[in-house]
C-alpha cells in the first residue's frame, strides 16, 4: 500500500536497532555464511533464520527495493548449522552442509532446484567443497523446492514466455553486442551498491540512523519518479518486460538507484530480484535499440544480470533453462558468459576471510567447480564485501 512508504524510515530504524541489540553474528548476513564455508570460525546462530525473514519483510512492507533470495539462503543456513551441531557434523562435513543449505534456500525461493545447486557451489569457490558438495546440494535443493510447493502449498510465481527463436548468425551477432552491454550494466549495479554503502558508512555513523536517512531518500526518489514501480520486488514490471511490454528507457537505471540506496543504507534484503528487474528491463530496452524481439532480450537480460552480478554464469544459464525452457541454449549461454566476462572483478557476494578476491577465466571457473576440495583459500572468483555492513544483510 502506498501509504506504507512513509513508514519506511521508522521500519528501517526498528530493524537496525533489533539487529544491533540482538543480532550478534547474524548481523553479517550472507557474508557470515560465505566466511564459515571458506574459513570457519564461529557457529551460525539460529536467530539468523528469524531476523532475516523479519528484516526483509519490514523492508518490502515499507517499499524498499530489495530481494528475497538471500533471506531464503539465510533462513536455510540458520536452521542447518544448529541442526548440524546437534547431529555432530564434523568440521570437514560442515562446508558441504552449509553449501547444501544455500542451494535449498535459492532453489526453494525461485522454484529452480538445479540452478540452486549450481549457484551454491559456484559462489563458494574459495576453499569450498566444489564437486563433493554438488550432489548433496542438488538433493537439498530438490527436496526444499518440493517441500515448499507440495507440502506447504506455497504458490510459485510463474513467468509467461514464448520460446527463443532458432539459431541464426545475424541474430546471434546482435545478441553478442547486447550481452556485452548487459555485462556493463551488471558492473554498474554492483559498483552502485558498493559506492552508496561506502558513502552511507562515512556520512552516517549511527547504524540505527542510517536506514532513517536511506528511507527518506527512497521516499524522495519515489515522489520524483511519480510511481511505485521501482519499490519492493517489482514483479509486475519484470512480468511486463518478459511478455514484451513497453519498458521506460530509464527503468533499469532507476531500479539500480532505488536498490543501491535501500541496500547501501543498511536495509535488510537481497539483490537477486533487483538484478532480475534490471536485467529484464535493460534487455527489453536493448532489444528495442538493436531491433531484437523485446521479450527475447528481456529473458536474456534476466539471466545475464544474475550471471554478471553474482559472478555465477553457469547458474544464469541453468536458471534460464528451468524458468524459460531449454529452447536454443546458445543465446542464454552467450548472454551469461559475456555478461560474466564484462561485469568486472566484483560481485554482490564474497567472504571477508581468506584469500583476497581474484577473477579467473571461465574455463578456470569450470575447472575449479569440478575439482575435489582443496585447502582453504585455494581459488575464489569474484566478490564484493558485506552487503549489510555492520548491521545485518539478507
Mean pLDDT of 195-199: 96
SS3 211: helix
Residues 294 and 176 in one domain: yes
* Residue 9 and residue 150 share a domain: yes
Looking at residue 248, which CATH number applies to its domain? 1.10.3080.10
Are 312 and 194 within one domain? yes
Do 175 and 154 lie in one domain? The reply is no
Whether 163 is in a domain gets the answer no
List the Cα angle 120/52/149 in 5-degree steps: 60
183 and 132 within one domain: no
Mean pLDDT for 164-191 is 93
Of 342, 369, 388, which closes a domain?
342
Question: Same domain for 203 and 332?
Answer: yes
C-alpha cell at 42: 564461529
Over residues 76-91, the mean pLDDT reads 96
C-alpha cell at 323: 524458468
28 and 131 in a single domain? The answer is yes
Q: Picking from 196-210, 340-354, 371-385, which range would have the lowest pLDDT averaged per residue?
A: 371-385
Count of structural domains, the chain: 2
pLDDT, greater one: 131 or 17: 17
Q: What is the tens place of the pLDDT at every residue in 284-318?
A: 999 999 999 999 999 999 999 999 999 999 999 99
Q: What is the pLDDT of residue 304?
A: 98
pLDDT tens sequence across 155-167 = 777 766 677 777 8
CA nearest neighbour of 45 among 19, 15, 24, 31:
24
Residue 12 CA to residue 14 CA, distance in Å, equals: 6
Whether the pLDDT of residue 231 is over 90: the answer is yes
The rounded distance, in Å, linking the Cα atoms of 249 and 200 is 28
Mean pLDDT, the chain, integer = 87
Q: How far is CA 85 from CA 89, 90, 95, 98, 356, in A?
A: 6, 8, 13, 12, 29
The pTM score is: 0.88
Q: Do residues 147 and 204 both lie within one domain?
A: no
pLDDT digits (tens, 9 = 90+) for 33-76: 999 988 889 999 999 999 999 999 999 999 999 999 999 999 99
Would 357 be classed as within a structural domain? no
pLDDT value at residue 275: 98
Instruction: pLDDT band for 276, please (50, 70, 90 cuts).
Output: very high
Residues of the domain holding 270: 169-342
Determine the pLDDT at residue 383: 35
Q: Which of 5-14, 67-76, 125-134, 355-364 has the lowest mean pLDDT?
A: 355-364
Angle between helical axes of 272-290 and 69-86 (0-180°, round to 10): 150
Task: Answer whether residue 371 is part of any domain.
Answer: no
Amino acid at each position: 500500500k502506498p501509504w506504507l512508504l512513509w513508514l519506511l524510515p521508522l521500519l528501517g530504524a526498528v530493524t537496525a536497532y533489533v539487529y544491533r541489540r540482538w543480532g550478534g553474528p547474524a548481523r553479517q548476513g550472507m557474508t557470515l555464511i560465505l566466511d564459515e564455508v571458506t574459513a570457519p570460525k564461529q557457529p551460525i546462530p539460529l536467530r539468523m533464520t528469524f531476523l532475516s525473514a523479519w528484516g526483509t519483510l519490514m523492508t518490502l512492507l515499507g517499499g524498499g527495493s530489495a530481494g528475497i533470495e538471500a533471506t531464503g539462503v539465510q533462513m536455510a543456513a540458520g536452521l542447518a548449522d544448529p541442526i548440524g551441531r546437534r547431529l555432530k557434523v564434523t568440521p570437514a562435513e560442515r562446508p558441504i552442509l552449509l553449501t547444501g543449505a544455500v542451494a535449498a534456500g535459492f532453489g526453494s525461493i525461485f522454484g529452480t532446484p538445479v540452478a540452486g545447486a549450481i549457484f551454491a557451489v559456484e559462489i563458494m569457490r574459495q576453499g569450498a567443497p566444489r564437486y563433493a558438495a554438488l550432489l548433496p546440494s542438488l538433493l537439498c535443493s530438490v527436496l526444499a523446492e518440493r517441500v515448499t510447493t507440495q507440502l506447504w502449498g506455497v504458490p510459485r510465481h510463474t513467468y509467461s514466455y514464448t520460446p527463443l527463436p532458432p539459431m541464426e548468425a545475424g541474430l546471434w551477432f546482435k545478441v553478442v553486442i547486447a550481452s556485452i552491454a548487459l555485462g556493463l550494466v551488471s558492473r554498474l549495479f554492483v559498483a552502485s551498491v558498493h559506492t552508496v554503502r561506502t558513502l552511507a558508512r562515512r556520512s552516517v555513523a549511527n547504524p540505527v540512523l542510517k536506514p532513517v536517512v536511506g528511507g527518506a531518500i527512497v521516499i524522495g526518489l519515489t515522489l520524483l519518479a511519480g510511481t511505485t514501480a521501482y519499490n519492493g520486488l517489482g514483479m509486475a514490471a519484470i512480468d511486463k518486460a518478459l511478455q514484451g511490454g513497453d519498458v521506460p528507457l530509464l527503468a533499469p537505471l532507476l531500479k539500480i538507484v532505488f536498490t543501491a540506496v535501500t541496500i547501501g543504507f543498511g536495509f535488510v534484503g537481497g539483490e537477486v530480484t533487483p538484478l532480475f528487474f534490471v536485467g529484464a528491463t535493460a534487455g527489453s530496452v536493448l532489444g528495442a535499440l538493436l531491433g531484437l524481439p523485446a521479450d527475447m532480450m528481456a529473458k536474456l537480460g534476466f539471466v545475464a544480470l544474475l550471471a554478471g552480478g553474482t559472478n555465477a554464469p553457469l547458474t544464469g544459464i541453468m536458471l534460464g533453462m528451468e524458468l524459460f525452457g531449454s529452447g536454443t541454449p546458445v543465446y542464454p549461454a552467450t548472454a551469461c558468459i559475456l555478461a560474466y566476462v564484462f561485469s568486472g572483478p566484483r560481485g554482490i557476494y564474497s567472504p571477508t576471510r581468506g584469500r583476497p578476491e581474484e577473477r579467473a577465466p571461465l574455463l578456470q571457473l569450470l575447472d575449479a567447480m569440478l575439482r575435489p576440495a582443496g585447502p582453504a583459500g585455494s581459488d575464489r572468483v569474484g566478490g564484493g564485501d558485506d552487503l549489510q555492513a555492520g548491521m545485518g544483510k539478507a
